[in-house]
Amino acid sequence: MNRSAANKLELNQYAAIVVRVCWALALLWLTRFVFYFFNQSSFQDISLPDWGAILWGGLRFDMAAICYVNSLYIILQAAPLRARSKHSFKQFARGLFLFTNGLALWVSCVDMVYFPFTLRRTTATVVREFANEDNLGTILTTAAWHYWYFLPVFLVFFWLLLVGYNRISVKAPASFNPTYFYTGSLGMLLLFPFLLVGGIRGDWRYSTRPITMSNAGQYVKNPGSIPLVLNTPFCILRTIRQQFYKADQFFSPNQLAAIYTPVIQLNPVDTFKTENVVILVLESFGRESFGFFNRKLNNGNYKGYTPFLDSLLAKSFVIENGFAAGRKSIDALPAVLASIPSGELPFVLTPYVSNQLQSLPQVLKEKGYHTSFFHGAPNGSMGFKAFVNLLGVEHYFGKDQYGNDQDFDGTWGIWDEPFLQFFASKLDSFPEPFQSTIFTVSSHEPFQVPATYRGVFPKGEHPIREVTGYTDYALKKFFNKIKSKPWFLRTLFVITADHASISHDPSYQTAWGNMAIPIFFYHPSDKLKAFLPGNIQQTDIMPSVLGYLGYRGTVFSFGKNVFAPQPENWVVNYYGGFQLIQNQYLYQQSENGIGALYDYKSDPLLQKNLAAQDKQQVIALDSRLKAFIQQYHNRLISNQLLPPAR
């Protein structure tokens, strides 16, 4: 007997199936530790008992994923086919096993480096998210080159998968026994589906429904730890045919209306003023990049990377704490322009995107405004062109309209500096009043600046700081170009980010900090200059702009008018689950019914859960959050995103 044969574990056909599948399960389970290693900053204060629950829950989700992935392999190996003994069939089965499980390991390894940008496990919606990218190959190639280290990790896991499979040898029977062969095969065909269904559902109790991503919440104390319980293959497979939202019934209609309604009545004192409105949505401009918001960092020595925007903030209407609706660019536009937040799924990737809704461009167009949207990427990128068309935007300007590919960054779109100059020229040509929005592109992975600006801007602790400085400089040149225009003094500027990004300081690596962005209103007359404590979110922009202009009427909005005499001081966003931030508190719901309550002002790292000692606060915040969720889900389902007919 040769050495390779002696080193093999010889098993019968059915035991070999079990051992090989269990080996694939063990490898998928181990990817969780590598996932954690690459993303430690996103998972803080996890105790040993917490890890026990996470790993136990993770095993349940891993079993479900492995059952999904190996269902065809198991059925073929157990089927009463004489061809099972042939070399060609064995090679096909081997290839099938390695391909399906290798693919599961591949997406797990890719998600190790993609996760910091979304703070969610990747789902099937990522296919729809990037479906409109004309240069998808370039984007993927650039990302793979930049984050090359995921590849050797995958190769190690695949090598272990291959070694484990080859280590098992199927014992050939001395002679063919038809009765034993067919009876055993049929028995296995009946048994294995039972095992598969139990693995996919989570257990074998009749009352158990198949586990979903939300079930991961029962294994964690903090919703931010949910990605450690889940695995990427499961999340992708469970969302291929996504079951969308179901109606909530936390409150009766009368109770719900008394707690929270997204229908806002604007009753201004003054008449409507037809000032221009320009909204700048800055790619990945997290709050941490700003010196203005972080004067206490580094013992008061933090300068930030946005000197121009800091100078603008000092002359603007600023509410201290701003928050994004989600962690993806596609979460931002519905929130900013239509006051529709992101939930379990990005709004634009749900069937409800075709609902009738009210948008800022549409409302202002009815008031005689010229409306436009600018994005320096190829015209189909992110599906923005299609979505802003649904919002009633009349004119779209993208890379195609810019018309000079010499300024293309090679990955995402036209560099911010020339495109903002193009934006300025176009604004100068529009009839007043106009409402226009621009979405910048340069402050994005792979975090490169034009060759002429290399070494000009501080690099900081992460490459995103350099491109943040570049876009800040591009904004300075934009404002310098337009400040002498007659329409400049008649324009309200709203400046925000699409979402936060990779952070360094621990206070920005929490459920609070990972959603923190700038949101401020600048008017050249300085008549809005103010700095107020409180909380503001992207969905507040539409009703606030209309409130500032003096719009009279009913508005449908999941936000608030921050220019109202006494605006409410709470926001809601989605961070592994819905969370509510009100006054100094951050409240998170949990699947097991035990919420988490933090005082983020006195406890910026969110280490002390106050839920047990402040139950009255929990009850009040929980009711408000449930009312928000019920309004959000039910109105999406019933296509009620418009104010009542007048």
pLDDT tens, position by position, 510-551? 999 999 999 999 999 988 999 999 999 999 999 999 999 999
Residue 4 has pLDDT above 90, yes or no: no
Instruction: Output the pLDDT for position 206.
Output: 38
End-to-end CA distance of the chain: 89
3-state secondary structure 538-554: HHHHHHHHHHHHCCCEE
Q: Which domains does the chain have, with CATH numbers?
A: 3-238 (no CATH), 254-637 (3.40.720.10)
Top mean pLDDT of 77-86, 347-356, 390-399, 473-482 is at 473-482
With a pLDDT cut of 90, the percent of the chain lying above it is 53
Instruction: Output the pLDDT for position 491.
Output: 97
For residue range 424-460, what is the model confidence (pLDDT) as tens digits? Answer: 999 999 999 999 999 999 988 888 999 999 989 998 8
For residue range 411-425, what is the model confidence (pLDDT) as tens digits? Answer: 889 999 999 999 999
**Paired tokens of 301:** 């020595």
3-class DSSP assignment, residue 348: helix
Instruction: Output the pLDDT for position 83.
Output: 62
**Higher pLDDT pick, 9 / 605:** 605
DSSP for residue 601: T
Mean pLDDT of 462-486: 95
What integer best gives the mean pLDDT of the chain?
87
The residue among 71, 86, 285 whose CA lies nearest residue 189 is: 71
Mean pLDDT of 560-573: 92
Task: Give the lowest-confidence range in 30-39, 74-83, 352-361, 497-506.
Answer: 74-83
Mean pLDDT of 289-300: 90
**CA–CA separation, 183 vs 522, rounded Å?**
78
Phi, then psi, of 587 in degrees rounded to 5: -120, 130
Instruction: Output the pLDDT for position 208.
Output: 40
Instruction: Output the pLDDT for position 361.
Output: 96
**Higher pLDDT pick, 75 / 619:** 619
Instruction: Output the pLDDT for position 603.
Output: 94
Instruction: Output the pLDDT for position 223.
Output: 67
Instruction: Output the pLDDT for position 207.
Output: 35
Instruction: Output the pLDDT for position 527.
Output: 84
**CA–CA separation, 379 vs 459, rounded Å?**
31
| DSSP structure string for 448-479 | ---GGGTTTS--TTSTHHHHHHHHHHHHHHHH
Instruction: Output the pLDDT for position 1.
Output: 45
**CA–CA separation, 457 vs 197, rounded Å?**
56
The residue among 513, 501, 434, 422 whose CA lies nearest residue 461 is: 501
Mean pLDDT of 99-115: 91
For residue range 271-286, what is the model confidence (pLDDT) as tens digits? Answer: 999 999 999 999 999 9
**∠67-72-78 over CA atoms, to 5°?**
95
**Higher pLDDT pick, 547 / 137:** 547
**Paired tokens of 279:** 């909204």
**CA–CA separation, 353 vs 330, rounded Å?**
12
3-class DSSP assignment, residue 376: coil
Residue 175 has pLDDT above 80, yes or no: no
Provide the residue type at 591 as one letter: E
State the pLDDT confidence band at 139, using cuts at 50, 70 and 90.
low
List alpha helices for 492-567, DSSP H. Answer: 541-549
Contacts of 457 (CB under 8 A, 6+ apart): 305, 449, 465, 466, 467, 468, 469, 470, 473
Instruction: Output the pLDDT for position 63.
Output: 87
**CA–CA separation, 384 vs 405, rounded Å?**
20
Element (H, E) at 434: strand 434-439
Mean pLDDT of 182-208: 58
Instruction: Output the pLDDT for position 150.
Output: 84
Phi, then psi, of 150 in degrees rounded to 5: -70, -25
Q: Are 374 and 397 in contact (CB under 8 A)?
A: yes
Residue 48 has pLDDT above 80, yes or no: yes
Residue 580 has pLDDT above 90, yes or no: yes
Mean pLDDT of 205-233: 70
**Paired tokens of 347:** 């709004």
**CA–CA separation, 449 vs 184, rounded Å?**
65
Phi, then psi, of 337 in degrees rounded to 5: -100, -20
Q: Are 581 and 512 in contact (CB under 8 A)?
A: yes
Residue 241 has pLDDT above 70, yes or no: no
3-class DSSP assignment, residue 283: coil
**Higher pLDDT pick, 149 / 482:** 482
Instruction: Output the pLDDT for position 355.
Output: 82
Contacts of 425 (CB under 8 A, 6+ apart): none
Residue 571 has pLDDT above 90, yes or no: yes
Q: Where are the beta strands (DSSP E) in 467-526?
A: 491-497, 516-517, 519-522
Residue 270 has pLDDT above 70, yes or no: yes
List alpha helices for 147-177, DSSP H. Answer: 150-167
Instruction: Output the pLDDT for position 248.
Output: 92
Which residues are paired to 317 by β-bridges?
Answer: 521, 530
Q: Are 262 and 542 in contact (CB under 8 A)?
A: no
What's the pTM?
0.78
Residue 638 has pLDDT above 50, yes or no: yes
The residue among 625, 286, 593 whose CA lies nearest residue 465 is: 286
Burial profile 185-223: b = 16 or more Cβ within 10 angstroms, e = fewer: beebeeebeebbebbbebeeeeeeeebebebbbbbbbbb
Task: Give the lowest-confidence range in 192-196, 261-265, 468-472.
Answer: 192-196
State the pLDDT confidence band at 137, using cuts at 50, 70 and 90.
low
State the pLDDT confidence band at 257, using cuts at 50, 70 and 90.
very high
Instruction: Output the pLDDT for position 508.
Output: 92
